[in-house]
Amino acid sequence: MGSSHLVIYVISDSIGETAEQVAKATVSQFNIEDYEVRRFPYINEKQQVFEILDEAKNEHAVIVFTIVVPELRKVLIEEAKILNIPCADVMTPILHAMESVLKIPAKEEPGLIRKLDERYFRKVEAIEFAVKYDDGKDARGIKQADIVLTGISRTSKTPLSMYLAHKNLKVANVPLVPEVLPPRELYEIPPKKIIGLTTNPMKLIEIRQERLKALGLKNEANYASMQRILEELDYAEGIMKKLGCPVIDVSSKAVEESAGIILEIFKDMGHKFSNGK
């Protein structure tokens, strides 16, 4: 290639990160240091292509691009050929290979991978939120949450919070215990943001006894007594009535089923959720 300064023009109808990574990986095979990468993101007009190529024609340049819109791609390839500028299409060969196997056309829509990345990071953020504001650890999360779950111990608050977090929803959960006043923040948010969780006392005593067994404790503990469970359920029912929030019984439902009911309740109230898609 000689000692001339190499300029790699990275052109993309999105941010151009994919093309730049490919360009850098390729140039690393040539043991040269005298090069630079110039990235041109969000190119969506022919005039922009002409202007970039007009600059590139005067340099020791190669073009690496990811453009999925056929018309714009065609202009770039044809104009680069006229100007005798080497041009590498990163995306199209892979698109064609996949189309031939899948038997469906590509969407030809710029920036889809970035949108997927954004959804992924929103999901991670929602999961971190659910962990941070689990079990009433920090009442400040109540006002920041999309959904607040409340109920007594072992009513699936944590697994429901995590399941809904995977739908990109920020969920806080607040335990209701007769000896502890609920946080004031619970009364300062709209009731339509809150879901009360209740369960069958017989089912709950069974769950709590299993929990005690797992912890190596005796079943006689007050935590798993019927009297204590009925007291907690009555207390929670009173709080939920005061809040005026919807209440669902989770005793005979899988987490997925309860989450589906919660999402339907919120949709009926006019909330619009991405549902993780």
Annotated binding site for ADP: 151-158
70-82 helix and 46-56 helix, angle to the nearest 10 degrees: 30
Residues annotated within a binding site: 151-158
* Residues 161/129, Cβ–Cβ less than 8 Å: no
DSSP collapsed to 3 states, the chain? CCCCCEEEEEEECCCCHHHHHHHHHHHHHHCCCCEEEEEECCCCCHHHHHHHHHHHCCCCEEEEEECCCHHHHHHHHHHHHHCCCCEEECCHHHHHHHHHHHCCCCCCCCCHHHHHHHHHHHHHHHHHHHHHCHHHCCCCHHHHCCEEEEECCCCCHHHHHHHHHCCCCCEEEEECECCECCCHHHHCCCHHHEEEEECCHHHHHHHHHHHHHHCCCCCCCHHHCHHHHHHHHHHHHHHHHHHCCCEEECCCCCHHHHHHHHHHHHHHCCCCCCCCC
